């Protein structure tokens, strides 16, 4: 595994985040100062302050009228300004301050000049006091709401820019992670041929390297297993093939010995040896078939044919072989109809041989063998059923013959089912109906 020597993914992400924060901060400062200038111009060059001031002026006029307030009545004017919670309130006449809520405590008794009244943004409105008309200016932080909205907006914009910079910066890493995720899914699905790109020397680069090494290991392991399986298959096939010749010779010699032996005791031993030799030959044949089927990964099925043509001859031979061994066969529902199936004739022959072998081993001759065909819409089902011979002692077999039947049916896109209980033994073969 490659170790991280240079860039660390966490450090890269932190630097990228700091970059986004820096750019966002710069944008915030530029927007703040630029926007503040624009807002100031809007405040003092438009009628915004005048419109905001007007409701206060109306309330003041109402208060003055109802309480007979003079322009110099500091106590009443102070009381009203405190109640309104305004920041600044002045009353002037002919450009001279009569009342100022900032300086009311100084008890200014005579009007004074104030240059502030000459400012263009100083919006003066007329109010009728008890002692005559006067100009008033009222300021109650009119721009606070807009300023708060402005700060919130530029903060959101700055944060958004920071986020965009961060996302834009990690898009390569995100795409790379997605690519690695796809590679993991391919490995899980058994697709190991595609190389995994190793990019960078950070944690993601480490992960990619590890995944690629795992992929190569799996490929090598699969190749080794395939080679071992191929070797084992060849070895078993060769052994099974080589055993056939001496077994055939041994069985022949035993048959001759049975015929020529006059000693009952010797003949008994020879007969048992003959049976065992036949069992070994049968097992060898089944083993040979098993590995031959495994090795033959794909077969080409015969052209679609009517069920009677495809299976009828083999079923007739099955009945003939079984009856020759002393069993009775009852055939049910052998009405072929027009249904067609696709089979591999060599496999059908081997399946029938395995079925005959099972009948000879386990079936009770006192009960008939039931052979029945059923048409189940999309499947042709053939049942082979017999009664077990409970008087006979059985040695648990390898069930290679049954596995051979299952493997051959699967390669013909069919199914097989074994029903094995205390007294009943049945094998069900299902062939898919060919649909043109």
Q: Are residues 133 and 88 in the same domain?
A: yes
Confidence of residue 128 (pLDDT cuts 50, 70, 90): very high
Q: Is residue 239 part of a domain?
A: no
Q: Is residue 213 part of a domain?
A: no
Q: Are residues 309 and 399 in the same domain?
A: yes
Number of Cβ within a 10 Å radius of residue 420: 11
How far apart CA 196 and CA 209 sit, in angstroms, is 8
User: For residue 398, is pLDDT > 70?
Assistant: no
Radius of gyration of the chain (CA): 52
Q: Is residue 197 part of a domain?
A: no
Strand pairing report for 369-376 and 379-387: antiparallel
Statement: the pTM of the whole predicted model exceeds 0.75: no
- Sorted by sequence, the CB contacts under 8 Å of residue 347 that are 6+ apart come out as 299, 408, 411, 412
Q: Is residue 275 part of a domain?
A: yes
Structural domain count, the chain: 4
CATH code for position 343: 3.30.565.10
Per cent of the chain over pLDDT 90 is 6
Specify the pLDDT at position 220: 77
Confidence of residue 63 (pLDDT cuts 50, 70, 90): very high
For 5-23, how does the pLDDT look when each residue is reduced to its tens digit (9 = 90+)?
Answer: 455 767 777 887 888 888 8
How far apart CA 60 and CA 73 sit, in angstroms, is 13
Strand pairing report for 112-113 and 132-139: unpaired
Q: Are residues 159 and 276 in the same domain?
A: no
Q: Are residues 264 and 366 in the same domain?
A: no
Q: Are residues 323 and 378 in the same domain?
A: yes
SS3 sequence, 156-194?
Answer: HHHHHHHHHHHHHHHHHHHHHHHHHHHHHHHHHCCCCCC
For 143-170, how does the pLDDT look when each residue is reduced to its tens digit (9 = 90+)?
Answer: 777 788 888 888 888 888 888 887 877 7
Q: Is residue 195 part of a domain?
A: no
Q: Are residues 123 and 179 in the same domain?
A: no
Q: Are residues 41 and 164 in the same domain?
A: yes
How far apart CA 72 and CA 92 sit, in angstroms, is 9
Q: Is residue 172 part of a domain?
A: yes
Specify the pLDDT at position 58: 92
Confidence of residue 67 (pLDDT cuts 50, 70, 90): very high
Q: Are residues 172 and 109 in the same domain?
A: no
| Domain coverage including residue 122 | 48-142
Q: Are residues 336 and 261 in the same domain?
A: no
Written as six digits, the tokens of 169 are 């910066």
User: Which residue in 373, 365, 372 sits closest to 330, CA to CA?
Assistant: 372
Q: Are residues 404 and 373 in the same domain?
A: yes
């Amino acid at each position: 595994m490659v170790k991280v020597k240079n860039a660390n993914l966490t450090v890269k992400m932190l630097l990228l985040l700091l970059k986004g924060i820096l750019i966002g901060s710069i944008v915030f400062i530029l927007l703040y100062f630029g926007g503040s200038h624009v807002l100031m111009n809007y405040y003092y060059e438009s009628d915004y302050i005048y419109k905001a001031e007007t409701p206060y002026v109306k309330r003041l006029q109402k208060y003055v009228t109802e309480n007979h307030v003079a322009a110099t009545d500091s106590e009443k004017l102070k009381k009203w300004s405190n109640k309104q919670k305004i920041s600044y309130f002045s009353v002037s006449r002919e450009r001279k301050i009569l009342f100022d809520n900032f300086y009311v405590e100084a008890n200014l008794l005579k009007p004074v000049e104030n240059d502030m009244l000459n400012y263009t943004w100083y919006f003066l409105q007329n109010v009728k006091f008890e002692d005559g008309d006067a100009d008033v200016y009222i300021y109650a932080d009119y721009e606070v709401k807009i300023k708060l909205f402005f700060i919130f907006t530029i903060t959101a914009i700055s944060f958004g820019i920071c986020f965009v910079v961060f996302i834009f910066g990690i898009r390569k890493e995100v795409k790379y992670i997605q690519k690695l995720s796809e590679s993991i899914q391919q490995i899980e699905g058994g697709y190991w041929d595609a190389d995994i790109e190793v990019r960078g020397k950070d944690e993601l680069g480490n992960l990619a390297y590890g995944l690629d090494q795992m992929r190569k290991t799996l490929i090598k392991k699969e190749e080794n297993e395939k080679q071992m399986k191929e070797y084992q298959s060849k070895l078993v096939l060769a052994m099974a093939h080589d055993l056939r010749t001496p077994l055939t010779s041994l069985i022949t010699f035993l048959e001759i010995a049975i015929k020529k032996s006059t000693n009952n005791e010797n003949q008994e031993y020879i007969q048992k040896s003959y049976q065992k030799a036949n069992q070994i030959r049968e097992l060898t044949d089944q083993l040979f078939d098993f590995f031959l089927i495994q090795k033959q990964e794909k077969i080409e099925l015969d052209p679609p044919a009517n069920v009677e043509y495809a299976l009828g001859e083999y079923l007739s031979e099955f009945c003939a072989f079984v009856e020759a061994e002393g069993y009775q066969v009852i055939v049910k529902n052998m009405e072929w109809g027009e249904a067609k199936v696709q089979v591999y004739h060599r496999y059908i022959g081997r399946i029938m041989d395995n079925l005959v072998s099972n009948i000879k081993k386990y079936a009770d001759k006192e009960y008939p063998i039931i052979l029945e065909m059923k048409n189940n819409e999309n499947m042709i089902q053939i049942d082979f059923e017999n009664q077990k011979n409970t008087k006979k002692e059985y040695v648990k077999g390898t069930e290679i013959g049954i596995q051979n039947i299952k493997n051959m049916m699967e390669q013909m896109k069919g199914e097989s089912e074994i029903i094995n209980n205390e007294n009943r033994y049945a094998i069900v073969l299902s062939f898919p109906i060919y649909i043109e």
